[in-house]
Chain A
Amino acid sequence: MSIQIGAKPSKMAAGGPDQPALQRRSSVELIRFIEVSKIYGTGEAEVVALDRVNFSVRAGEFVAVLGPSGSGKSTAMNILGCLDTPSSGHYLFRGVDVGTLTRDQRALIRRNHIGFVFQGFNLLKRTSAIENLELPLIYRGMPKAERRAAATRALALVGLSDRASHTASELSGGQQQRVAIARALVTAPSVIFADEPTGNLDSARGHEIMNLLRALNAEHGMTIVVVTHDEEIAAYAGRRIHFLDGRIASDEAFA
């Protein structure tokens, strides 16, 4: 396999107007959980999905969030991605307390700062790869020519230039996930959240995807948080946070 990560970081630099430079100093704190809890239901049926969790992620890190199902890692992912808010505690994203924001303000954070990669790819099925990549840029109001150029660059970055006009359903799983990664990074976000990105792929395709993410992190300084239950997948990350029963069981960094 070949992962054609563009050698020149400048290829990705043309993101949104208010984007911080991609080569962030690792000293910048991007994410901070302060005593974050998430409780579903009430009374007898109360389920504590997250129990006073504290951690932070700096720009440029490649973090794996590990844990069995029910450990709270998916809940943490939803909160990290500003799709959900904590029941108590504070989630600071780039210094902003997300819990105080409205639904639309959180949508704007996702639009301008977050890229998502999902287990099920979540591309628009009957839409071409290039149009899938343009979608987040359309919401940003980017003019057509600029949009097309950025989408083309991102597609080249994941090595699928020759599949631009194929619809998502015409692509293999591995290709779809690479398009999804391209969609996540086409806006040059502050962070990419990947939720079980290899879950629907065979092991070879899975390693391709993880190599691609690692290269994005290493060569472009992209901050990446991967949620997985698979130790082998987590091994690609420089830092692994284990969740168990809604709490952080361990938080290890590897050099």
Chain B
Amino acid sequence: MMIGNALLLALREIRRNLLRAGLTTLGIIIGVGAVIAMVTLGNGASASVTGSIESLGRNLVILQPGTRRGLGGGGAAASAPSFSLEDADAIKREIANLRAVAPIAMRGETVVAGNINHPTQVMGTDNSYFAVRAWDMVQGRDFTDAEVRGGRTVCIIGQTVKAKLFGSQNPLGTNIRVRDAPCEVVGVLDVKGQSTFGQDQDDIVAMPIRAMQRRITGNTSVGMVWIAANEAEDVPKVIGDLTKLMRERRHLSNAAPEDFQANDMAQITQVMQQTTAILTLFLAAIAAISLLVGGIGIMNIMLVSVTERTREIGIRLAIGARERDVLTQFLVEAVMMSAFGGLIGIALGLGASAVGTHFLNIQFVPSPGIVFIAFVFSAAIGVAFGYFPARRAARLDPIESLRHE
């Protein structure tokens, strides 16, 4: 029998039992839908993370302390020493092709204006930081050279801090208290929104780093240094030079591993993508289990169907169907149901992830590859789980089957 006829017979049978076919297919629909939704959402999250990290700039290099092994091989990772302003100066002085170098020290503190307290992030830095982040001032000004050099306690505040402490009032010229240091507000930053990691970037108070060190942290540490190269092409050389310079300054012997990290955005992006990829894979694997369950559902229903349709099979055998005709018919039926289910699942999965990405505020990145794989896989499930019932149908004895009530 030609495959076209098998398709015709299977289609007629499915049409006659539309409700049962629909229920049978439900498992596949949910399984495929879940896989598609997981992968699409995962891709979307990954793309959004990548996008927001890269929006920081491809020419950005971030210098952070690494970890070093504690003595005695106990395995406890201890934080390596942080940096100093001298390190930042040395970088500025000795590394070519740099546009900006921003030393940063951060600490969580409560800031007070009048009788309002607000816990926030206090950042010590200089104007380079705003330049590197392309972060504009909407009110007031940035730090003057004198303020930066002299470590004057003046602040630039983010939109969230402004809203909490001042509401709609003009904060410029007002003194806020950071820890026990009175600090004059000289500027207000533009809205930046949430970071990739869900932090409110506008919940920030910035002051010159020397003021931060003297009045807030009480030490001379620089937690990290953000460095902007002139061009993205300069980044590899900058990282090379930076690594060499820092090894020298931290007196690392040739054999010693680095106790700091100099990463560009590509590397950070890569790490983030690996993380989301693993997460996506994990979720998709869970979803794939429901596909398997869907396949078993199809086998179950097909077996019931074979028993229920024993007489019909007898009729078909009597009027000249060969074993392979019956086998093909039942197999095609199973594959058709699972493939239909796959198509519906793909549509539902894409629909759900379109809605999901909208609400999660991430990019909608449908992957044609995974759609194709999901379709082929759902059809393959039809073959795998339809074969056993189909073979059972094909092997029925026509005489017995015709007697079956």
Does the CB pair A124–B312 fall under 8 Å? yes
Contacts of A107 in B (CB 8 A): 317, 320-323, 325
CB-CB contacts of B297-333 with A at 8 A, as 1s and 0s? Answer: 0000000000000011011111111111100000000
Give complex CA distance A140, B324 in Å: 14
> Which of these binds chain A: B2-10, B244-252, B341-349?
B2-10
> A109-149 CB contact bits vs B (8 Å, 1 = yes)?
01110101010001110110001000110111100000000
Docked complex Cα distance between A139 and B324 (Å): 11
Chain A residues in 8 Å Cβ range of B12 = 127, 131
A126: chain B residues at CB < 8 Å are: 16
Complex CA–CA separation, A136 to B321 (angstroms): 8
| A-B residue pair count with CB separations less than 8 angstroms | 62
Does B398 make an interface contact (CB < 8 A)? Answer: yes
* Contact call B320/A122, Cβ cutoff below 8 A: no
The answer to the question of B399 belonging to the interface, with a C-beta cut-off of 8 Å to chain A, is yes
The answer to whether A84 and B399 have CB atoms under 8 Å apart is yes
* CB < 8 Å neighbour of A122 from B16, B311, B323, B325: B311
Residues A116 and B324 in contact, CB atoms below 8 Å apart: no
B402: Cβ under 8 A from any A Cβ: yes
State whether the Cβ of B1 lies closer than 8 Å to any Cβ in chain A: yes
State whether B16 touches A110 (Cβ < 8 A).
no
Name the one of A103, A111, A118, A135 contacting B402, with C-beta atoms under 8 angstroms: A118
Q: Please indicate the chain A residues that have their CB under 8 angstroms from the CB of B314 in the complex.
A: 122
Interface residue from B1, B399, B402 paired with A139 (Cβ < 8 Å): B1
Report A-chain residues with C-beta under 8 Å of the C-beta of B317: 107
A112 CA to B322 CA, complexed, in Å = 12
Q: Take A83-B399, A104-B324 as given contacts and tell me if A138 and B5 are in contact as well, using a CB distance cutoff of 8 Å.
A: yes
Q: Contact string, A83-116, partner B, CB cutoff 8 A, digits 1/0?
A: 1100000000000000000011001101110101
B323/A135 in contact, CB under 8 A: no
Q: Contacts of B325 on A, CB cut-off 8 Å? A: 107, 139
Residue of B nearest to A136 (CB): B319
B318 touches A108 (CB 8 A): no
Chain B nearest CB, measured from A17 CB (Å): 14
* Interface contact B319-A139, CB-CB below 8 Å: yes
Whether the pair A108, B322 counts as a contact (CB closer than 8 A) is yes
Q: How far is the CB of B167 from chain A (nearest CB, A)?
A: 73
Report how far A116 CA is from B321 CA in the complex, Å: 13
Of the candidates B2, B311, B321, the one having the most CB atoms from chain A within 10 angstroms of its own CB is B321
- Measured between alpha carbons, how far is A203 from B317 in the docked complex, in Å? 30
Chain A contact residue count (CB 8 A cutoff): 27
Q: Nearest Cβ distance between residue A109 and chain B, in whole angstroms?
A: 8
Q: Which of A78, A141, A183 contacts B399 (CB 8 A)?
A: A78
Residue A81 interfacial (CB < 8 Å): yes
Residues from chain B with a CB closer than 8 A to the CB of A122 are 311, 314-315, 318, 402
**Bound form: Cα–Cα A97–B62 in Å:** 89
**Beta-carbon contact of B323 and A104 below 8 Å:** yes
Say how far A149's CB is from chain B's closest CB, in angstroms. Answer: 17
In the complex, what distance in Å separates the CA atom of A139 from the CA atom of B399? 19
Could you say which interface size class chain B belongs to?
20 to 34
CB distance from A199 to the nearest CB of B (A): 14
Residue of B nearest to A75 (CB): B399
Residues of chain B with a CB closer than 8 A to A116's CB: 318-319
Q: How far is the CA of A81 from the CA of B324 in the complex (A)?
A: 20
User: Known interface pairs A127-B16, A131-B12, A138-B9. Does A83 touch B323 (Cβ–Cβ under 8 Å)?
Assistant: no
Chain B contacts of A111 at CB under 8 A? 319-321
Per-residue interface assignment for chain A, residues 1 to 22, with 1 indicating a CB less than 8 Å from any chain B CB and 0 otherwise = 0000000000000000000000
Pick the contact of A110 from B2, B311, B312, B318 — CB < 8 Å? B318
In the complex formed, the residue of A with least CB distance to B16 is A126
Residues of chain A within 8 A of B9, CB atoms compared = 138
Task: Give chain B residues whose Cβ lies under 8 Å from the Cβ of A127.
Answer: 12, 16
CA distance A108 to B321 in the complex (A): 8
When C-beta atoms are compared, the residue in chain B nearest to A81 turns out to be B318
Least distance between A180 CB and chain B CB atoms (Å): 10
A169 to chain B, nearest CB (A): 12
Taken together as a complex, chains A and B put the C-alpha atoms of A108 and B325 apart, in Å, by 11
Among residues of A, the one whose C-beta sits closest to the C-beta of B2 is A141
| CB nearest to A184 among chain B residues | B319
When C-beta atoms are compared, the residue in chain B nearest to A113 turns out to be B320
Nearest-neighbour CB distance to chain B for A226, whole angstroms, equals 17
Residues on A with C-beta less than 8 A from B2 are 141
Q: Closest chain A residue to B325 by CB distance?
A: A139
Nearest-Cβ distance from residue B320 to partner chain A, whole angstroms: 2
Smallest CB separation, B157 vs chain A (Å): 75
Chain A residue, CB-CB nearest to B320 = A111
CB neighbours (8 Å) of A84 from chain B are: 399
Would you give the shortest CB distance from B305 to chain A, in whole angstroms?
A: 14
CB pairs A–B below 8 angstroms (15 shown): A81-B318, A83-B399, A104-B324, A107-B317, A107-B320, A107-B322, A108-B320, A108-B322, A122-B315, A122-B318, A124-B312, A127-B12, A138-B8, A139-B1, A139-B5
Binding site for A on B (CB under 8 A): 1-2, 5, 8-9, 12, 16, 311-312, 314-325, 398-399, 402
